[in-house]
Amino acid sequence: MNARYEFSFERFRAMVVKEFIQMRRDRVTLAIMIGIPLIQMIIFGFAINSDPKHLPAALLQADYGPQARSLVQAIQNSGYLNFVMKVHSEKQGRDVLARNRVQFVVTIPENFSRDFVRGDRPAILVEADATDPAATGNALGSLAGSINSALGHDLTGPLAFLARSESPVDLRIHPLYNPEAITQYNIVPGLMGVVLTMTMVMITGLAITRERERGTMENLLSMPTRPFEVLLGKIVPYILVGYVQIGLILVVSRLLFRVPMVGSLSLLLAVAIIFIVANLAMGITFSTVAQNQLQAVQMAFFFFLPSLLLSGFMFPFRGMPRWAQAIGELLPLTHFLRIVRGILLKGNGFEDVAVDLWPIVLFAALAVALGVKRYRRTLD
Amino acid sequence: MNDDCAIDVRGMTKRFGGLTAVDRIDLQVRAGQICGFLGPNGSGKTTFIRMLCGLLRPDSGSGTCLGLDVVTQSAAIKRQVGYMTQRFSFYDDLSIAENLDFVARMYCMQNRRAAVDESIERLGLTGRRNQLAGELSGGWKQRLALAACMIHKPRLLLLDEPTAGVDPRARREFWEEIHRLAAEGLTFLIATHYMDEAERCHRLAFILSGILLVHGSPAEVIGRSGLTTWAVAGPDLAGLAGQLQGRPGIEQVVAFGTTLHVSGADAGALEQAIASFRAAPYEWHRTASGLEDVFIQLMETPNGGTPCS
Ligand SMILES: Nc1ncnc2c1ncn2[C@@H]1O[C@H](COP(=O)(O)OP(=O)(O)OP(=O)(O)O)[C@@H](O)[C@H]1O
Ligand SMILES: [Mg+2]
């Protein structure tokens, strides 16, 4: 009799029914399964803007003549640059650029209006933070056009002689930090943060759920342990893993992509621990919430996705709409990316990275506190 | 409250949703005693033990373990209690020595290394100390778990089916060890399904559907059951069993190799029921009721049977 080995529709149906029941009972998995495609569609549909506008700029204005004023107006009206501050010296301009307060510094030299009227083609200096070439490219490209067309209106009457083919001003663009606009310089250091986020959250995300799933939690809880001991005990070993990853990425960045390393590596390594701990703590917190390992992995992914898309890794941060930037600001990866790029490409020091360090510290502290609070001391 | 009670709890209750897994159990176990914890599957033994060592919060009830409050001082209780889980719950991916070392560290033992070595030696696993726990056979896992929960020299041991799957010789050694330790003043609460083990306990507690039905020494438990048992030998015992089953006065008919044990709570009714079969080729004689007969009888107790202390 080989009937026993034949495919049984009844057995098959029993399996299908069982799987459906299990899926329905696993609310979190279901929510995530629906949530991920939704979020992906929203992010890809609305959040990504490869033509970022209204990029913050600083103005160093040494001339207030009518032509200077209409020039500033023209740049502002182009929609690409948005003057958010005035600076009063070249050094101050470099500082706000380095600290990521602005993307551009526009310098209008003394006697601009006078030279303009004389037809001397005065220079306008535009310094750009070109760490992320995608963020600045379009803005810089459109600048000349909008300046020329705006100033063109003024070239009537006695100034008509200036309306010749050559531009009446000398636009000088200085892309800083990544002058050749090499995308790898931006992406490769960013990868460090992305890889750490992915793996660190995942590793600890499994920590508690694995104990529960394998039944070892009962034993652990019957021993005189405190939640903080258990949680920290699961965090610390992986800090080492994080550093191994950082080391690997740095070596590869240097040898393979020849990413410049302008700043202090020891500063980078020192601040990295906070980012690593933040992610490990996030994973632990997921672990205390998730019912099983699968859910923990899904939660880790749920956290990873916005980190990847909204941190400024994949798309220029300033190209995203406000709400997406607001979410991005909450994520440790966003700040860590700025720190890594700042140190490696801009040569930033501690004072420069501090602004992006404290949000990570805050995040780590909150995640640890939540993990400890959520950690169940009993089997109830 | 009794000072030399290692376990002294009252009204312990635990509900899971609509199910009352443990229903108002009172239990006192004096220091140095071995208390056997009996009850059919799902009767609430594991749940009750978990409440004693702070793994589950009782919905109501109060009392002490080793003089410490079971509800508020569970952290202190855990330090002096050894709990062996029913399911192996040490780390499969750690070696024997690493597991024991982990436990010893968890209890902050002073002479950790010595304690681990001694424990491994007593287990007789010195040559295999670096073997992964997950690779051990079922019985050896059980013995490792037992050794691990005793490594910190607890004063009270809560053992949930510690000898399930353990071979007879190891079980005998285990029970000898238990009695030796009890003589030193350690207290044991041992959940078991083995009746021969139940007979080796000082006290027995039998629970059914979360209710404590009987509590006393093995002899008391048997005596209180009022069970009378007859043994019968002869041909075609299976056929005889079929005829006896269900007659008024006969509660159990159990085959034991070449004999059949017939028991009932009412001696008179039982004698009447078997009267027509008391002829050749069958040979009948009275025999002592065993714990197992009592156990089966208790299991048949209709739900809501009056709890007794
Ligand atoms: N975490 C839980 N959630 C819901 N119900 C539970 C839980 N733990 C136990 N139960 C239920 O409580 C009852 C008692 O279970 P318990 O494990 O205490 O029985 P037991 O006497 O140890 O059984 P066994 O002899 O099979 O080990 C059972 O009906 C079980 O289904
Ligand atoms: Mg049990």
Q: What percent of chain A has pLDDT over 90?
A: 20
Q: In this predicted structure, what is the pLDDT of residue B1? A: 46
Q: Provide the residue range defining the domain that includes A152.
A: 55-176
Pair A227, A366 in one domain: yes
- Cα separation, A133 vs A153, in Å, equals 32
What does the mean pLDDT of chain B come to?
89
Return left, alpha or beta for B52; rule: phi > 0 is left, psi -120 to 50 is alpha, else beta.
alpha
Q: What is the pLDDT of residues B7-23, one digit of tens each?
A: 999 999 999 999 999 99
Name the least confident of A94-103, A224-233, A339-348, B57-66: A224-233
Is residue A5 a part of any domain in this protein?
Answer: no
Give B121 to chain A, closest Cα distance, Å.
23
Is residue A136 in some structural domain?
yes
Ligand 1 nearest-atom number relative to CA B43: 21
What is the C-alpha to C-alpha distance for residues B45 and B192, in angstroms, rounded to an integer?
A: 9
Query: Token pair 């039905």 is at which residue?
Result: B213
Rounded Cα–Cα distance for residues A351 and A97 (Å): 14
d(CA B32, CA A192): 60
Q: Per the CB < 8 Å rule, is B106 touching A378?
A: no
A295 and A238 within one domain: yes
pLDDT one-digit tens code per residue, B65-124: 999 999 999 888 998 999 999 999 998 888 899 899 898 888 888 888 999 999 999 888
Range with lowest mean pLDDT among A161-165, A188-192, A371-375, B252-256: A161-165
Q: In whole angstroms, what is the distance from residue B251 CA to residue B249 CA? A: 6
Shared domain check, A242 and A352: yes
Cβ atoms A135, A338 nearer than 8 A? no
Ligand 1 neighbourhood includes B45 CB (under 6 angstroms):
yes
A161 and A216 inside one domain: no
- Is A4 part of a structural domain of the chain? no
Q: Are residues A220 and A115 in the same domain?
A: no
Q: Which one-letter amino acid corresponds to residue B221? A: V
Could you tell me which of B51, B255, B292, B6 has the C-alpha nearest to residue B155?
A: B6
Length of chain B: 309
Q: Is residue A23 part of a domain?
A: no
Residues A295-321: tens digit of each pLDDT? 999 999 889 999 988 998 888 888 888
CB spacing of B87 vs A215 below 8 angstroms: yes
Nearest residue (by CA) to ligand 1, atom 2, is B16
Predicted confidence (pLDDT) per residue in B170-226, tens digit: 899 889 989 999 999 999 999 999 999 999 999 999 999 999 999 999 999 888 888
Q: Give me the residue label for tokens 């609310």.
A: A27
Co-location of A167 and A223 in the same domain: no
Torsion on CA atoms A378, B4, B10, B16, rounded to nearest 10:
20
Query: Could you tell me if A222 and A311 lie in one domain?
Result: yes
- Mean pLDDT, rounded, for A318-331: 90
Query: b/e for A48-66, b at 16 or more Cβ within 10 A?
Result: beeebeebbbbbbbebebe
Q: Mean pLDDT for chain A?
A: 80
The ligand that comes nearest to the alpha carbon of residue B44 is: 1
Is B89–A215 a contact, with Cβ atoms under 8 angstroms apart? Answer: yes
Q: At what angle do helices A66-77 and A133-152 cross, to 10 degrees?
A: 130
Which phi and psi (to 5°) does residue B62 adopt? -155, 175
Contact yes or no for A233/A226 (Cβ under 8 A): no
Q: Which chain A residues contact residue B79 at CB under 8 A?
A: 224
Task: Evaluate whether B5-217 and B222-301 have a shared fold.
Answer: no
Per-range mean pLDDT, top range of A49-58, B39-48, B92-101, B263-272: B39-48
Distance CA B251, CA A88 (A): 103
Question: Is A331 a member of any domain?
Answer: yes
Q: Shortest Cα distance from B107 to chain A (angstroms)?
A: 7
Instruction: Find the CB nearest B55 among A214, A218, A225.
Output: A218
Tell me whether residue A241 is in a domain: yes
Strand partners for B10? B62
Residues A305 and A166 in one domain: no
Which is nearest to A193 in space by CA: A51, A328, A94?
Answer: A328
CATH for B5-217, options being 3.30.70.60, 3.30.930.10, 3.40.50.720, 3.40.50.300: 3.40.50.300
A39 belongs to a structural domain: no
Cross-chain CB nearest to B89 (options A218, A225, A380) = A218
Q: Does A214 touch chain B (CB under 8 A)?
A: yes
Cβ–Cβ gap A218/B85 under 8 Å:
yes
Indicate whether residue B215 lines ligand 1 (CB < 6 A): no
**Ligand 1 center to residue B48 CA distance, Å?**
9
Residue type, A5: Y
Which of A176, A204, A234 is the last residue in one of the domains? Answer: A176
Locate the domains of chain B by residue range: 5-217, 222-301
Share of chain A above pLDDT 70, in %: 81
- Opening angle at CA A18, ends A16 and A24, nearest 5: 100
Give me the pLDDT at residue B304, please: 43
State the Cα–Cα distance between residues A133 and A178, nearest whole angstrom: 8
Give the nearest ligand 1 atom to B207 CA.
21
A152 and A191 part of one domain: no
DSSP letter for each residue of B243-276: HHTT-TT--EEEEETTEEEEEES-HHHHHHHHHT
For ligand 1, atom 14, the nearest C-alpha belongs to B44
Of the pLDDT bands very low, low, confident and very high (cuts 50, 70, 90), residue A160 is: low
Count CB atoms within 10 A of the CB of residue A378.
Answer: 12
Based on the fold, state whether residues A278 and A341 are members of the same structural domain: yes
Give B142 Cα–ligand 1 centroid separation in angstroms. Answer: 20
Question: Ligand 2 centre and the CA of B217: distance in Å?
Answer: 22
How far apart are the CA of B300 and the centre of ligand 1, in A?
Answer: 19
B133 DSSP 8-state letter: G
B50 touching A, CB under 8 A?
A: yes
A380 interfaces chain B, CB cutoff of 8 Å: yes
**Would you list the DSSP string of A167-227?**
-SSEEEEEEESSTT--HHHHHHHHHHHHHHHHHHHHHHHHHHHHHHHHTHHHHHHHSS--H
Q: Does residue A309 sit in the same domain as residue A200? A: yes
Q: How many domains does chain A have?
A: 2
Name chain B contacts of A210, Cβ cutoff 8 Å.
none
Select B222-301's CATH number: 3.30.70, 1.20.950, 3.40.630, 2.60.40. 3.30.70
A216, A217, A219: best to mutate for the B interface, most B CBs within 10 A: A219
The pLDDT of A190-195, averaged and rounded, is 83
Phi, psi for B155 (deg, rounded to 5): -95, -20
Name the β-bridge partners of B281.
Answer: none
Q: Which residue of chain A has the CA closest to B71?
A: A378
Write out B150-210 in H/E/C secondary structure.
HCCCCCEEEEECCCCCCCHHHHHHHHHHHHHHHHCCCEEEEECCCHHHHCCCCEEEEEECC
Please answer yes or no on whether B89 and A219 come within 8 Å at the CB atom. yes
Classified as helix, coil or strand, B26 is: strand
pLDDT above 50 (res B307)? no
DSSP A377: S
Q: Which atom of ligand 1 is nearest to the CA of B39?
A: 21
Residue A145: predicted pLDDT: 79
A180: left (phi over 0), alpha (psi -120 to 50) or beta: alpha
The residues, ordered by sequence, that sit 6+ positions from A304 with a Cβ below 8 Å of its Cβ are: A197, A198, A201
Does A372 lie in the same domain as A328? yes
**Ligand 1 pocket check: which of B14, B23, B45, B303 to mutate, most ligand atoms within 8 Å of Cβ?**
B45
Distance CA A136, CA A316 (A): 9
Q: Is ligand 1 within 6 A of the CB of residue B21?
A: yes
Mutate to test the pocket of ligand 1, among B41, B43, B53 (most ligand atoms within 8 A of CB): B43
Q: Specify the pLDDT at position B116.
A: 93
The pair of structure tokens assigned to A142 is 């459109």
Q: Rounded to whole angstroms, how far apart are CA atoms A278 and A362?
A: 9
Query: Among the ranges A64-78, A203-217, B49-63, which has the highest mean pLDDT value?
Result: B49-63
Domain assignment present for residue A24? The answer is no
- pLDDT tens digits, one per residue of A2-59: 333 355 454 555 555 555 565 666 677 557 655 655 565 455 545 555 567 788 999 9
Global ipTM: 0.85
Q: What is the pLDDT of residues A104-119, one digit of tens each?
A: 899 988 888 888 888 7
Rounded to an integer, the average pLDDT of A271-288 is 93
Q: Which of A133, A151, A176 is the last residue in one of the domains? A: A176
Chosen domain end from A126, A148, A176: A176
In DSSP notation, A310-372 reads HSSSSS-GGGS-HHHHHHHHHSHHHHHHHHHHIIIII---HHHHHHHHHHHHHHHHHHHHHHH
Q: Does A233 touch chain B (CB under 8 A)?
A: no
CB distance B50 to ligand 1 below 6 Å: no
- Confidence band of A165 (pLDDT split at 50, 70, 90): low
